[in-house]
Structure 1
Amino acid sequence: MAAAVCRTCGRLRYELVPAAVSFGMTCLGWVHHAVGMDVAAYAGYGLGLAATGALTWGGLKFKSSVATSLGVASAGTVVNTAIGAITGPSVPSLIAGGVVTIASYAVFVPWLVKTRHERINLQIKAAKTKPLPDSMGVNVAEPGIVGDTEEETALRRALWALGTPAVDVTRLVFTDTGWHAVVTLPPGKNTSAQAVIAKRTQLQANLDLPGKLRLAEGAQGNQLYVRMQTTDALAEPIPWPGVRVSSIEQPIPIGIYPDGREILVDLLSGHVLVAGGTNMGKSGATNVLMANLVACEDVDLAGIDMKPGALELGPWADNMVALADDPETARQVLVWLKSKMVERGKYLSTLRGPNGERVRKWTREHGKYIVLVIDELAELLRQAPDVVTELLTLMQVSRAMGIRIVAATQSPSEQAFGGKGTDARQQYGTRIGLPVNEPTPINMIFGTGAYGQGWRLDWLDAPGKVMVSSERYTEPEEGRCYWISDEQIRLTSLKFLPAGALLPPHLAPPAPPEPDPDPDPTPPRGPGGGRPVLHVVPTYPDGSRIESNRLPLWQALEKAGQEGLTKPEAVRRGICNHHTSIAPWLSQWVGAGWVEESSKRDRAVVYVLTAAQHTPVPEAPAFSKENVSCPASS
């Protein structure tokens, strides 16, 4: 217990360590007094006092300051604890604890001042002297290289051994997944942040701390951002929670960050690029976008899939107004889309605003948006190089006419972005980067210098892990895309079949045949042939049915009442395996006004159903075969 208290104080405020130890041992003595003292206990305290006294005497005799200091501190601690055990919570015990605490600070404060002076002198020396050779290792570091915490000390010594001593280390910040800090480096080319990033593997070996080391350039030229990830909340795939939007003007959630925040894509801010290596989750991210887009009532979808048979976008064929899987039909789709762009531009030119100004931007009031999804962009431009002009024109001009392009490629190259003389990357308002095996494609995806700024897609260690760059996300941050199954794709496609098509019949997909209406089934009779046995289907306050995978969390919130429920409590009760899996559901319910964040308990947010939603969900009767689901109003 004392060790745990010391570690906590050392990481938060190390100045509290002597007081924490003294108070902790006093309380320990009181506990011993409460359980009872016997002859063995008195003998134990006496033996401890004799041992610490002997250590103090030996330190004085052999002139060992370390042994003497340790002996005096141990003797004071034993006396303090013994008095607390003998007298319990009393004035003598409090006096003993106070004396020990004051004596501890009488020794601790001078040591603290001396240590800080050593650190300042070391920082001045590090800025003036040349770095030590790499081969000398960590063990030759000067004793004065210490930090406020074990992690800071290890970081300072690792940088010194690397040949790049730290001028300053901003106070470390500890999170649920690890810790991070900002290091100020000495000026010079060989001690720059880029030079340290290039030696990341050696720096992690020098640190000798658990976790994955992540480095990036700081806000200033000589600053290095260091992040150590000790636990990975995104190690396992995260199931797609279902459709969350009904309009393209709403941000589309495609994944989640380690702290539970959803990764949102704003299609209105520009075109979208999805790029990554083979089998690294590019198709999954594209399908999550598609699953939300087909549910948007103000969107018409078109697709180009250069895999023969449209293997990636084929499951969504019935939801699209057109789907091309070869160069010729792809060319027709682009020509048609360009004609729609011209038509819409002329239409907007005839409109005027409330003050007579020209309308210059397409909104849902003018009609549906059009989204073109291209899978294997590089293959399209390879097989049909003549469509580059049409595609670039669409990307540069069509945004104002309500047309968006989502392009996915696993081969980001100059040709994929338009070839020489052009740079179509500037037209992508959102760039979704998935794992790659080499650093070269990173600058192709995110722009020049992205590799050194921390957009390290080569550090993403699992398919589906992602970094997103957009107006909403300007700093590199590792997340994970939702995983959507083939069955979810099939059911979502069937649920949101479109009412019509925009293209001529020879390009539009055939309309699905109308199913024959089935007669209403005869409701089953109850036991003994009486009235039908019905049970209430659990629903949200808006009348929609609660999904089966979310029902345990909703029922737990109802049962908790005004006391509420936190994410860690949901994990302990077996409702979920990790708090990130329920974070999107809670965020959705908070946004809908069904759940509110009332307070905090154990530093975790407490979620409580709003006052109008405290009616428990009825449990189903015991006889399952005779039961039949019906709306809650029945």
Structure 2
Amino acid sequence: MKDTRLRRAAAAVAGASIAACRWCGRLRYELAPVAATFGLTALSWWHHATGPGRADHTGYGLATAATAALCAKGLEHKNTKAAAVGLGGTVVSVDAWLGAALGPSVPSFIATGVTMIGAYGLYVPWLVKSRHDRMNLQIKAAKNGGLPDSMGVNVGTPGVTGDTQEETALRRALVALGIPAQDVSRIVFTEIGWNCVVTLPPGKNTSAAVVISKQKQLAANLDLPGTMRLRVGERENQLLVQMQVRDPLAETIAWPGPSMTSCTEWLPLGLSPDGTRFGFHPLYNHVLVAGATDNGKSGVLNVILGNLAACQDAEVLLVDMKPGAVELGPWEPCALALADSVDRAKALFAMVRQEIKERGELMSQWRRETGVPVRKWDPAKHGRPAWFIVIDELAELIRRAPDLAKELESLKQLARFAAIMFVEATQSPSAKVFGDSTDARQQYQVRIGLGVTEPTATNLIFGVGAHGEGWRLDLLNLPGKLMIASRDSAHKAPLERRAYYPTDEDIAATIAEFGGVAADGMLLEPTAPAGGPNGRGPGDGTPASPPEAPFERPQLRAVPTFPDGSRIPDNRLALWEALQKAGPEGLTLQEAVAQGLAGHRTSVQGPVSQWVAKGWVDDSGTRGRAKVYALTAAEHTPTPDTVPSPKENVLAR
């Protein structure tokens, strides 16, 4: 009987203890001031039992005096926060001092009670406001979306569901973040993932920018496969969410070669995730190419240079500060000038300034003669071609010659009207590169950003706040991946793209096709020979055009052999016959590819180079800016009356 009573008593005590713990757990926020106050009093009584000394009482006294002084100063200067902190600190110090001095006693209990009342006086309004705000957020989240499975004051409870698994995960991830969604548009699934628009509660602390700043935490809460990208929508509380499950840009994209013959055309740079090409218009636009090392900057520059080299109405001028001009040096045969030192760079910029002046004077003269305003230099009408000054590693140039920062800023401000554009690349985008001024950066109408390691670099390339708006260059994970911003409406949103990758063979073939047309040597001063501006035309502002050469089509041999009698291999016969049919006009590599003779210019470059070395093919002629390959010797014997010389066959430089 006695054992039974003991077991019942023990069970009752255990049940009461469990109930008390549950009750305390449910009211943990309400009981927090009580627990803190009694805990402090218990510690002060324990200190009384150990016997506090004079030094201890001095410490209590100094703490009380300091908090009282803070309260007095707060009241004097009408600083409510300082006065409240000082008053609360004084009450706590007095409570602890009395407990340590007197132990369990009436004065100590009174001090503890006063401390508890003061604590609740400050804590209860904050607790009520916090719960009210959290309830409002959950109510707003339920108004336009799926109803919550559970409602409580703890927004960490994942209780919001959606129409799909992805929407449910996104809603719960936002709730766990403390910013539940008011509405989630129906998720659109694509070949590469899914996307949607999230409407967030109005307010500064629940805006889309705040969620973007916590992207890593949101991605961890979401716990779904893929790469998440966020940006601000049309309104501040609209969040655009894109989850990329499959990367369509994971494979390197081969460069198809130059696809433009005029700088007035569109210059393709690479492919977007949907497989469409992207690019920009080079004429009248300065270009900035920036990104950390080994992220594809050189590849982008080579694509730009390869296309400009094929343009009949454009010249490139190169500035490369790397020893030996290893990046831009190979393009020297296609360039009007190459500067590989500070002195040569200064001379080149002086030439550019003089050219701007001359073009401006010519435009003024034409306006006075015709009475028609001429505001922009048109390479197709005004004789001289557009100039593109390509600078590799702008940061190194400015480090070696800081005074050039202001000169470049001045030139970019003046040059566009004269059809003179700057294409500048740097691996170290910083304020110093742009002359410690945002004015210079504003001159770039096209900005191409490759992968970087710090968010600040993104803002330096695309402008203040770009990183928070979704221009996340730090998330670009492969060389050649980039984001582009320009005045083109297709470039307003931060979209990940990837540039073409030109191989060394591609570059060599392009240089072989379009190189060797420029004037020999580096021109450091512009000239304007008689007969037209810069020798470009007859003097009426129109460029010269190559004379046409009549020819007779040759008869094919019954047995296909080379001039030395050796049989032509089957894989070379189509190309040889195409050269025979072309006659004295010959073929360019690009034309050979267009006729389906090969899939790429490099496939044609090899055999025709061998035939040139053997004297069977002549490569001295040009059409536009491309080399022309024509059969010689017994196949076709050109005469001076029918075949123009190379200098007559191109726009003189």
Q: Find 2:517's aligned residue among 495, 499, 515.
A: 499
* Counterpart in the other structure of 1:615: none
* Counterpart in the other structure of 1:393: 410
What's the offset of the Cα at 1:189? 3.0
- Indicate whether 1:206 and 2:225 are aligned: no
- Indicate whether 1:461 and 2:477 are aligned: yes
Partner of 2:243, secondary structure, is strand
Contact 1:525 1:533 in 2 (8 A): no
* Counterpart in the other structure of 2:54: none
* Counterpart in the other structure of 2:431: 414
* Counterpart in the other structure of 1:383: 400
- Identity, in percent, stands at 46
Distance (Å, rounded) in 2 between the aligned partners of 1:541 and 1:494: 12
Q: Note the 1:260-339 alignment, pairs <5 A.
A: 260-339=275-354
What's the offset of the Cα at 1:499? 2.9
Change (3 A) 1:151 1:331: same
- Indicate whether 1:425 and 2:441 are aligned: yes
Partner of 2:278, secondary structure, is strand
Uncovered stretches (5+) of structure 2, i.e. residues with no partner = 1-138, 527-553, 579-588, 602-634, 636-653
TM-score by length of 2: 0.59
* Counterpart in the other structure of 1:344: 359
* Counterpart in the other structure of 2:63: none
Change (3 A) 1:533 1:236: closer
Q: Find 1:483's aligned residue among 501, 516, 540.
A: 501
Distance (Å, rounded) in 2 between the aligned partners of 1:541 and 1:284: 21
Contact 1:131 1:164 in 2 (8 A): no
What's the offset of the Cα at 1:354? 11
Change (3 A) 1:121 1:368: closer
One-letter code aligned to 2:440: A
Change (3 A) 1:342 1:502: farther
Q: Find 1:191's aligned residue among 202, 206, 219.
A: 206
Uncovered stretches (5+) of structure 1, i.e. residues with no partner = 1-116, 509-519, 552-627, 629-634
Q: Find 1:549's aligned residue among 585, 599, 603.
A: 599
In our comparison, the structure showing a higher alpha carbon Rg is 2
* Counterpart in the other structure of 1:404: 421
Distance (Å, rounded) in 2 between the aligned partners of 1:326 and 1:530: 51
What's the offset of the Cα at 1:123? 5.4
Change (3 A) 1:306 1:536: closer
- Indicate whether 1:474 and 2:524 are aligned: no
* Counterpart in the other structure of 1:69: none
Change (3 A) 1:234 1:505: closer
Change (3 A) 1:503 1:392: farther
Change (3 A) 1:341 1:506: closer
Distance (Å, rounded) in 2 between the aligned partners of 1:337 and 1:298: 17
Contact 1:349 1:360 in 2 (8 A): no
Distance (Å, rounded) in 2 between the aligned partners of 1:224 and 1:369: 43
What's the offset of the Cα at 1:357? 2.0
Contact 1:253 1:265 in 2 (8 A): yes
Contact 1:457 1:467 in 2 (8 A): yes
Distance (Å, rounded) in 1 between the aligned partners of 2:339 and 2:158: 64
Partner of 1:466, secondary structure, is strand
What's the offset of the Cα at 1:205? 2.0
What's the offset of the Cα at 1:217? 1.3
Partner of 2:399, secondary structure, is helix
1:472-528 CA-to-partner distances (Å, cap 9, x unmatched) read 2111100001001111111111110253439865789xxxxxxxxxxx9x979369x
Distance (Å, rounded) in 2 between the aligned partners of 1:547 and 1:531: 19
What's the offset of the Cα at 1:121? 4.2
TM-score by length of 1: 0.60
- Indicate whether 1:525 and 2:559 are aligned: yes
What's the offset of the Cα at 1:548? 3.3
Partner of 1:391, secondary structure, is helix
Contact 1:132 1:163 in 2 (8 A): no
Count of residue correspondences: 413
Partner of 1:260, secondary structure, is coil
Distance (Å, rounded) in 1 between the aligned partners of 2:351 and 2:248: 45
Contact 1:353 1:359 in 2 (8 A): no
Distance (Å, rounded) in 1 between the aligned partners of 2:450 and 2:351: 31
Q: Find 2:388's aligned residue among 350, 371, 374.
A: 371
My pick for the range that moved more, 310-319 or 349-358, is 349-358
What's the offset of the Cα at 1:425? 1.3
CA RMSD of aligned residues (A): 3.4
Change (3 A) 1:437 1:352: same
Contact 2:201 2:237 in 1 (8 A): yes
Partner of 1:428, secondary structure, is coil
Contact 1:319 1:496 in 2 (8 A): yes
Partner of 2:194, secondary structure, is strand
* Counterpart in the other structure of 1:166: 181
Contact 2:145 2:182 in 1 (8 A): yes
* Counterpart in the other structure of 1:67: none
What's the offset of the Cα at 1:419? 2.1
Distance (Å, rounded) in 2 between the aligned partners of 1:118 and 1:351: 67
- Indicate whether 1:248 and 2:266 are aligned: no
